[in-house]
Amino acid sequence: MNKINLRPIITIEDKNTFVSEIQEAFQDSYVSEFGKYEKTILPIEDIEESFNTKGSEAYIAEIDGERVGGTIVVIDDTTGYNSLHLLYVKSDAQNTGNGFKIWKAIEELHPETRIWETHTPYYDKRNIHFYVNRCGFKIVEFFNPKHKDPHQISETAGNIPKENNYFFRFEKEMK
């Protein structure tokens, strides 16, 4: 099994590559479920917000020097309650266990974590399977029109159409 290397994003080229690849991966996921969609599901503003969140760490995931994906995590050294903001596997590197390898590398990078939190859209069955059955997260909350995410400022997350704007919140207890 080839080991994942999480390389910090430090150049503008790395950041631009990250943005392009994650937008493609998220768009492909949405299109595979609902068909062609003109808007970009994950707008640049949402990605920038993750990059700029206090405690954020952004990484390109590589195997043998080849990019396979990336991640942005937000670390709270005081509480140990950390957040997986974004994780993607390049469209041409999926279905080979790379997502799980990236996740395990994140866990190894932050053994001090008490609880990990993340979110995913309800329609993304593949992500739900990944987080629950592969990574050991538990679904702890379901955001919908009658139970809105208190941190979501706009009416919808990203450019997901209102009728598909339902999300699960997951947690994984580490210690």
Task: Give the tens place of pLDDT for each residue, 127-146.
Answer: 999 999 999 999 999 887 67
What is the pLDDT of the chain when averaged over all its residues?
90
Helix (H, G, I), strand (E, B) or coil at 71: strand
Query: Six-digit token pair at 41?
Result: 């599901």
Range of the domain at 69: 5-173
Asked whether 71 and 58 are in contact (CB, 8 A), the reply is yes
- The pLDDT value recorded for residue 34 is 83
Model pTM? 0.90
- The pLDDT value recorded for residue 161 is 47
Distance CA 81, CA 173 (A): 9
Name residues of the chain where pLDDT drops below 50. Answer: 161
- CATH assignment of the domain containing 25: 3.40.630.30
Q: How many CB atoms lie within 10 A of CB 152?
A: 13
* Strand boundaries in the chain, DSSP class E: 5-8, 56-63, 66-74, 81-89, 115-121, 138-143, 167-173
Domains identified in the chain, total number? 1
Tens of pLDDT along 11-27? 999 999 999 999 999 99
- The pLDDT value recorded for residue 95 is 86
For the chain, the helix, strand and coil percentages under 3-state DSSP, each to the nearest 5: 35, 30, 35
Measuring CA to CA, which residue among 147, 85, 73 is closest to residue 119? Answer: 85
Query: Six-digit token pair at 46?
Result: 């949402």
